[in-house]
Amino acid sequence: MSHACETRSVRTTGRANPTWGGWYLGAMYPIVDTVLKLPTPLVVLFLIAFWATIAAVIHWLVVPRICGPDGKRLGRFEAEVTSQIALAFGLLISFNAVWVWDRGDRVREAVAGEAAALESVLDEADFGGDDDARRTSYALVSAYARRVIEQEWPQLAESMLTLDQPPELRALRHFAARSSDEVREAVARAVAAREVRVRDGQMVMPRSRWIIVFVLGTLTLVSIGALHGDSPRGRALALALVTFAISCCFVVLFVSGRPFIGDYAIQPEKLRDVLARADAGGGT
């Protein structure tokens, strides 16, 4: 089983195996989620402080041990080594950012598609000509939209929502089975969109990718320090600049890492519009 599938399975069911990987998923991710719930400026400060601590350890402890007190022990350190490590780090950060952004786009499209499908159910009810069926349709859409907003959305933020269909959605599907083809197709689209919202919305980047970008970021700082081993002031300035750049890269991954957490979390605005219309039109 791939890392991505294993991660998704644990996050979707809310269970973790009693292994190192289980600890990582069961303990590490809640810590990350706690950080992501902070305002974005605090997330930025946290990441800068984290990498600044690593840079300080490299500056004061690692480089002097490698290069000696005067920076001459190591000899000549080629700048090409640093550039190659930095290139590998930049490429992997780019790949991970693309993965995160693509996943976010899929979830946003699913949320919009789910709301649009429910709107289509209401549209069909308005032109169906049967008042009883119209009231039933409006009531079922209202119940399901309220369930999504009030119960599923908080569960998405906690990664505790499963793919099991709630009673409100099953009732809507049962109603659609006795309705027109247009209603059945609209409900089918809503079901498919919900699956994407739940599955992809709770996916996390595989732990192997996080480990690799962390290791490459640390190696980049070590190589920068070794490159300026004989110049403490120049080394401090170089490490500070690269630390800030690495922190910015991780900010990009963090703020987009979880679609339903943080200042940029996806909100059910379109579903609220559907709920308002269903409540108003259905007389509830």
Domain that holds residue 9: 1-36
SS (HEC) of 205-230: CCHHHHHHHHHHHHHHHHHHHHHCCC
**Amino acid present at 5:** C
Distances 86 to 3, 66, 115, 224, 241 between C-alpha atoms, Å? 25, 20, 43, 10, 13
- Model-level pTM? 0.84
pLDDT for residue 148: 98
pLDDT in tens, 207-266: 889 899 999 999 999 999 999 999 999 999 999 999 999 999 999 999 988 999 999 999
Does the residue 186 lie in any domain? yes
Q: How many domains does the chain have?
A: 2
Does the residue 18 lie in any domain? yes
Residue at token pair 């049967």:
130
pLDDT in tens, 158-188: 889 999 999 999 999 999 999 999 999 999 9
Q: Judge whether residue 86 has pLDDT over 90.
A: yes
Does the residue 148 lie in any domain? yes
For residue 109, the tally of other CB atoms under 10 A from its CB is 14
Does the residue 22 lie in any domain? yes
pLDDT for residue 5: 42
- Read off the pLDDT band of 11 (50, 70, 90): very low
- Read off the pLDDT band of 139 (50, 70, 90): very high
Does the residue 156 lie in any domain? yes
Does the residue 27 lie in any domain? yes
Does the residue 270 lie in any domain? no
